[in-house]
Amino acid sequence: MQKFKNLYFGIFAILLALALLFVFLNTSNPLLISATELQTLTQNKLPKVATIKGDYLYFMFDKQEYKVAKSSLDLQSFGQKVPLEIKDSNSTQNLIIILLIATIALAFLLAGFKKSKSKNISEQKIPKRKEDSYESVAKSLASDAYALHYIQPISSNLTFEDVAGIHEAKSELEEIIDYLKFPKKYQDFGVKLPKGVLLIGVPGVGKTLIAKALAGEAKVPFFYQSGASFVQIYVGMGAKRVHDLFTKAKLNAPSIIFIDEIDAVGKARGGMRNDEREATLNQLLTEMDGFEDSSGVIVIGATNNVESLDDALLRSGRFDRRIFVELPDLQERIKILKVHTRNKSCDFDFEEISKLCVGFSGAALASLINEAALNAIKRNSNTITKEDILSVRDKVMLGVRKKLSFSDKEKEILAYYQAAKAFSAYALEIPFEKATLMSDGLKSIDKEFLSKNEMESKIKIYLSGIAALELLYQERYSHAKEDLNAAKTLARQMVESYGMGEYLLGREEDVLKILEECKNERFAFFKNYRMILENIKTSLLLNEKLEYDEIGQLIHAQI
């Protein structure tokens, strides 16, 4: 009797397999294309009709069936040119699901029949394990469906007109915008779209705003993800999310993926091992520069901690461009204030207020105007005045590093400090782009081998500000901490790693000797050229930013 039951079950399974095979053979296999490819395909000829099923639009063209992601199209505009039909895409799927459910139900019945006749404990546990496996498969399928619908592009209405300041970052991105708008012009010339752009800057300078404006200017789909959203406690989920994100972006190409705080997923591998995070990072590296074609998708990452990123993520072919987004200077702060006061009544001098806000980021300036408006409402006024700004200025800066809020005396000290470094760099022929009140703009010397003289020149620049302030004020200040640490590190490398001390096997005394000699040399240098230092300081205090050529002109005017 048992043999006949097994025979019946075998015949049923074969019939079921044949039915499934028939269904799959009669199911069409359309070719997936992007919205850009659709536009190229239909330039000269249009399909007779198009059908919307689920997330895709299907149509026949020259005896070939195509499909394109519905979310990447303007269906209203497309429907005016081609008649659209809406069909239920679930009929075939429902049939397959019904057959699968019937098979599973039959399997459970047979398992229950065997279980009722068996007294073995191990056999009693088998159905439970099968049930668990079915549950895990169901969860996996549900997760796939959720990912498909969850990841949707954002349409950005922002343009660069809405983003004040950060002129240098805008100019770097204009080329990418032109490529996204007119890809054929570059493709005909054999030029490829940069794989990635890394925006580097302190919090609040407008990195996310730049990415949104880039998408708005190029008028392409914009996919936003936080780096932390890829960090999962479940094995494989982070890598899967990365894959789903890039798959959706490719369907909507050309498109932009923006990963905010990318250091959450892109930290250097090794050290405190985290296999799941490393698997996620490996998937990101593969998607950006693997065997699969990702043309038409540009990845923009934002971070304020570029030093922690993995070297493989920073190499050419992944993040081809790095754009440093700095705190706004005087003129950029004026523009930002004007943007945030467009629809508000104001009675204050923008330049005067901007000079009071040295070190404010774009976000801090937006908050400043908002708080000043609230203060005006409290005193029953419809106009924001200088007094409103001054009354909330300290409140806005609360929680931001104290060095960003300067008094006139502090600004003078900082101007002397940065002027001394810029003067030394120009005199010692160390390349730099510009000097500002907030940074020196110095570049690292990109050479395989460095001489002792070149390394000492770098140390002299690090110690220039300390030497100049000691000459002018007979005092030392705490803000020189970072430069002093850099000078000590470089001097120790010279002595311990390169044998550049007094003895081949260096001692701590050799490190101290190099540092003292470099500082004393700069002290004597500034003593002889004090007027030039004063002129650079005055100009830097007035403009807050000096380009390399401008510093050269100030130096040569006095020599």
Q: What single string gives the DSSP state of each residue in 312-348? A: HHHSTTTS-EEEE-PPP-HHHHHHHHHHHTTTSEEES
For residue 517, being part of any structural domain is answered with yes
Task: Identify whether residues 369 and 441 lie together within a single domain.
Answer: no
- What CATH number is attached to the domain comprising 87? 3.30.720.210
- Residues facing residue 62 across a β-bridge: none
**Please, which pLDDT band fits residue 467 given cuts at 50, 70 and 90?**
very high
Most confidently predicted of 216-225, 273-282, 480-489, 517-526: 517-526
Q: How far apart are CA 96 and CA 105, in angstroms?
A: 14
- Residues facing residue 322 across a β-bridge: 198
Q: Give the predicted TM-score (pTM) of the model.
A: 0.55
For residue 345, being part of any structural domain is answered with yes
Task: Identify whether residues 367 and 291 lie together within a single domain.
Answer: no
pLDDT tens sequence across 147-176: 445 577 777 778 887 777 777 777 778 888
For residue 497, being part of any structural domain is answered with yes
The pLDDT, as a whole number, for residue 319 is: 83
The domain boundary, picked from 404, 428, 463, lies at 404
Structure-token pair, residue 484: 């002093």
Q: Where are the alpha helices (DSSP H) in 362-401?
A: 362-378, 386-397
Give me the torsion for CA of 35, 37, 42, 44, rounded to 10°. Answer: 140
Q: What is the mean pLDDT of the segment spanning 196-208? A: 84
Task: Identify whether residues 436 and 542 lie together within a single domain.
Answer: yes
Whether pLDDT at 104 is above 50: yes
The domain boundary, picked from 43, 58, 91, lies at 91
Whether pLDDT at 78 is above 60: yes
**Please, which pLDDT band fits residue 79 given cuts at 50, 70 and 90?**
confident
Q: What is the mean pLDDT of the segment spanning 356-383? A: 87
Q: What is the mean pLDDT of the segment spanning 59-81? A: 78
- Determine contact, residues 144/174, Cβ cutoff 8 Å: no
Task: Identify whether residues 315 and 337 lie together within a single domain.
Answer: no
Whether pLDDT at 309 is above 60: yes
The more confidently predicted of residues 387 and 195 is 387
The pLDDT, as a whole number, for residue 109 is: 58
Range of the domain at 165: 160-324
φ/ψ (deg, to 5) at 344:
-125, 150
- What CATH number is attached to the domain comprising 341? 1.10.8.60
Task: Give the percent of the chain with pLDDT over 90.
Answer: 16
The pLDDT, as a whole number, for residue 315 is: 79
Task: Identify whether residues 285 and 188 lie together within a single domain.
Answer: yes
Q: Tokens 């993995």, residue?
A: 310
Tell me, rounded to whole angstroms, the distance of Cα 55 from its chain centroid.
28
The pLDDT, as a whole number, for residue 46 is: 82
For residue 260, being part of any structural domain is answered with yes
The more confidently predicted of residues 6 and 372 is 372
For residue 244, being part of any structural domain is answered with yes
pLDDT tens sequence across 397-449: 654 444 445 778 888 999 999 999 999 999 998 888 788 887 766 655 555 57
Task: Identify whether residues 358 and 426 lie together within a single domain.
Answer: no
The pLDDT, as a whole number, for residue 402 is: 42
Task: Identify whether residues 395 and 412 lie together within a single domain.
Answer: no
**Please, which pLDDT band fits residue 129 given cuts at 50, 70 and 90?**
very low
Q: How far apart are CA 435 and CA 421, in angstroms?
A: 9
Whether pLDDT at 98 is above 70: no
Instruction: State how far the alpha carbon of 143 is from the alpha carbons of 27, 138, 150, 321, in Å.
Output: 24, 9, 10, 35
For residue 136, being part of any structural domain is answered with no
The domain boundary, picked from 369, 404, 439, lies at 404
Chain-wide mean pLDDT for the chain? 77
Structure-token pair, residue 347: 């009675």
Q: What is the mean pLDDT of the segment spanning 535-543? A: 90
Whether pLDDT at 548 is above 80: yes
Among 329, 551, 557, which Cα is nearest to 430's?
551
The pLDDT, as a whole number, for residue 183 is: 76
The pLDDT, as a whole number, for residue 124 is: 43
Residue 509 CB neighbour total at 10 angstroms:
12
Task: Identify whether residues 294 and 421 lie together within a single domain.
Answer: no
Residue 298 CB neighbour total at 10 angstroms:
26
* DSSP-assigned letter for residue 160: G
The pLDDT, as a whole number, for residue 88 is: 59
The more confidently predicted of residues 27 and 83 is 83
Whether pLDDT at 275 is above 80: no
Whether pLDDT at 466 is above 90: yes
Domain count, the chain: 4
Whether pLDDT at 370 is above 80: yes
For residue 149, being part of any structural domain is answered with no
The pLDDT, as a whole number, for residue 460 is: 94
For residue 314, being part of any structural domain is answered with yes
The pLDDT, as a whole number, for residue 330 is: 84
β-pairing, 222-226 with 64-69? unpaired
Whether pLDDT at 142 is above 60: no
Task: Identify whether residues 296 and 191 lie together within a single domain.
Answer: yes
Reported as type and span, the H/E element at residue 59 is strand 56-61
- Determine contact, residues 495/506, Cβ cutoff 8 Å: yes
- What CATH number is attached to the domain comprising 462? 1.20.58.760
Task: Identify whether residues 303 and 443 lie together within a single domain.
Answer: no
The pLDDT, as a whole number, for residue 9 is: 62
**Please, which pLDDT band fits residue 195 given cuts at 50, 70 and 90?**
confident
Task: Identify whether residues 67 and 181 lie together within a single domain.
Answer: no
Task: Identify whether residues 37 and 165 lie together within a single domain.
Answer: no
